[in-house]
Structure 1
């Protein structure tokens, strides 16, 4: 079964048996929520739609974005990504993984953000089937 691994440099800290998820976070300066939808495939993580509730420093809205219910929706044509490399510090707050109708902070699986370990990676991985 394919799923999502969280960790760093190939070392797995947590595994989740999900193939579709939304990565969500709040911009550290502008305090605006961002969301990106991903699908896990054998080739990597495939980015679907992305959403942002506003713009600001380093947050330019793509020209093709459309405003729907207060958020700008857009798609980026990217090849499957082998992993997502995310900065994660106490000052920036935590990322969230959203699936099955609810969102959870990364801290649920890998502990609170820590200045001594300021990054995390997500990638698609094989997960042993649960019996």
Structure 2
């Protein structure tokens, strides 16, 4: 498996097998951050963090306060894809970083799906 993601219909090369995704909660206007690994089994959530708490954003089991963030390691199986639903109420989309390279994924009004790309998609998207 190549180290890349399909973001909607666009191919996004990653600098390594991990990435972070962060955004602002639509109601509480507080930051949320997740760390993900691209594995042979799909996308594995390795860490979650929230900068506060409130409606729909309670820290998870085992959370500890670190630099103003509630941080924990969710115990979840890998996902084949990750759907990013838009509410139109956050004022922005998502911020995705892998290594030192970051990308903004804008709110489009439609669900954006992240998934590992296939070898064929990688070859097609990376040129001859």
**Matched-pair contact (CA < 8 Å) for 2:26–2:87:** no
Structure 1: 5+ residue runs without aligned partners? 8-12, 108-112
85-94 or 50-59, which moves further after superposition? 85-94
Following superposition of structure 1 onto structure 2, how do residues 50-65 of structure 1 map, counting pairs within 5 Å? 50-65=48-63
Q: Secondary structure at the match of 2:117?
A: strand
In the alignment, the residues of structure 1 paired with residue 108 and residue 44 of structure 2 have an alpha-carbon distance, to the nearest angstrom, of: 28
In the alignment, the residues of structure 2 paired with residue 76 and residue 16 of structure 1 have an alpha-carbon distance, to the nearest angstrom, of: 25
In the alignment, the residues of structure 1 paired with residue 42 and residue 61 of structure 2 have an alpha-carbon distance, to the nearest angstrom, of: 27
In the alignment, the residues of structure 2 paired with residue 89 and residue 66 of structure 1 have an alpha-carbon distance, to the nearest angstrom, of: 29
**Matched-pair contact (CA < 8 Å) for 2:86–2:111:** yes
Following superposition of structure 1 onto structure 2, how do residues 110-121 of structure 1 map, counting pairs within 5 Å? 113-115=107-109, 118-121=110-113
Q: For each residue in 1:57-81, what CA deviation from the matched residue of structure 2 results, as whole angstroms up to 9, or x when unmatched?
A: 1111224101011111101111110
The residue that corresponds to 1:73 in the other structure is 71
Normalization by structure 1: what TM-score? 0.81
The residue that corresponds to 2:11 in the other structure is 15
Higher strand share: 1
In the alignment, the residues of structure 2 paired with residue 86 and residue 23 of structure 1 have an alpha-carbon distance, to the nearest angstrom, of: 10
**How many pairs align?**
119
Alpha carbons of 1:120 and 1:31: their partners in 2 closer, same or farther (altered >3 Å)? same
**Matched-pair contact (CA < 8 Å) for 2:20–2:35:** yes
Kindly report the root-mean-square deviation, in angstroms, between the aligned alpha carbons of the 2 structures: 1.7
Pairwise CA distance, 1:31? 0.9
Following superposition of structure 1 onto structure 2, how do residues 33-48 of structure 1 map, counting pairs within 5 Å? 33-48=31-46
The residue that corresponds to 2:6 in the other structure is 5
**Matched-pair contact (CA < 8 Å) for 2:52–2:70:** yes
Normalization by structure 2: what TM-score? 0.83
